Amino acid sequence: FDFSEQWFLFFPNLIKYKKKEILSVKMVSQHQSKDSGSKKNGGKELGMVAPQEKSWKKMKFASSSAETEPTSQTTISDDSKSGRGMSTMPRVVKRKLQKLRPIVEYNKRGKGIGQAHSEMQSYIGVLARSRVPLVDMKWSQIPKDIKEQIWEVVDMAFVVGQGGKNSVLTSAAKKWKDFKSTLTRHYILPYTNDRGKLSQPPETYKFIEKAQWDAFVASRLSKDFESVHSQHAQIREKLEYNHRLSRKGYVGLEDQLEETMPGVEIDRSTLWKRARQDKHGNIPDPKVAEKAKLIDELQKQVSEGKVSVYGCNDVLTMALGPEHPGR
């Protein structure tokens, strides 16, 4: 593995940009527009103005050379679109070349929110897939220098903030594990009776070395793995109330609700319900709808003082029962 920045050369799409992808780049020195900047931007150091037809989150930026040069007011609008497949995050790479680092923001619970956090998570996923060897071992067994390289690259691209190195590597560990699971479920197990289709890495993930792919396939077709996979399948069958969230997850949903419901406390039961509604606000699954109705009733009783909540015994626990994998 070549862990230098030259690895980007293996992804030619990273250096190809259409003019429409970057609608505007405007640099205004802080010492040149101190007065106007404080009035127009509310004193914020850096910001991102999204296209008006988009509902993108605003991103704050910091210059990589902020220690030696005046901070700049930067405005970037990105209207790029990408389909399914192996993401290479060209936006992130371009900003690194411009020495611009989006500032990751956090909500009051310390969870990352906003567009910068979302892009950072996607970038961590790219690094976890392309820089960590595809091996049948635990994350704790991965060499420390590989983990350090991932952290350094992310830290160069984003102002991580309070999450720090630990949150980045924790995310990388999960994404690496999810990547192996995706390969197993979609590219290996469906072809156990057609081994010829397992002779080469998937077209989408050409960066996987042939030797690593062969070893990984062998590990996934072993009897030991078959036993573990069967146990996990039994756990998945117990999932009664599947949510309808996209990749934004609960954190993204909470961020959205805090914006649309200012002043309202967003508790676990509210998140649980909203995560299972369709785009029209309906809950198609009758079993889920029944639990949502119970949650509404319990919330009403709490507001009327008829029911008390304390600690982990909140409305959601009352409605669903004690915590279990089928949550």
8 Å CB contact between 202 and 187: yes
Q: pLDDT at position 231, please?
A: 74
Q: Is residue 69 domain-resident?
A: yes
Task: Check residue 159 and report its DSSP letter.
Answer: B
Q: Is residue 102 domain-resident?
A: yes
Q: Is residue 75 domain-resident?
A: yes
Last residue of one domain, picked from the residues 113, 132, 148? 148
Q: Is residue 24 domain-resident?
A: yes
Of 37-41, 83-87, 210-214, 280-284, highest mean pLDDT: 210-214
If asked whether residues 11 and 130 sit together in one domain, one would say yes
Q: Is residue 194 domain-resident?
A: no
Q: Is residue 33 domain-resident?
A: yes
Where b means 16+ CB within 10 Å and e means fewer, 280-298 reads: eeebeeeebeebbeebeeb
Q: List the domain range (segments joined by +) for residue 29.
A: 5-148
Tabulate helix, strand, coil % of the chain (nearest 5): 50, 10, 40
If asked whether residues 139 and 253 sit together in one domain, one would say no
pLDDT one-digit tens code per residue, 252-267: 777 777 778 777 778 8
Which of left, alpha, beta for 238 (phi over 0: left; psi -120 to 50: alpha)? alpha
pLDDT one-digit tens code per residue, 205-255: 999 999 999 999 999 999 888 887 777 776 666 666 777 776 667 777 777
Last residue of one domain, picked from the residues 117, 148, 179? 148
Total domains, the chain: 2
Q: Is residue 14 domain-resident?
A: yes
Last residue of one domain, picked from the residues 148, 171, 189? 148
pLDDT one-digit tens code per residue, 297-327: 999 999 999 988 887 889 999 998 876 544 4
Q: Is residue 233 domain-resident?
A: no
Regarding pTM above 0.85, the answer is no
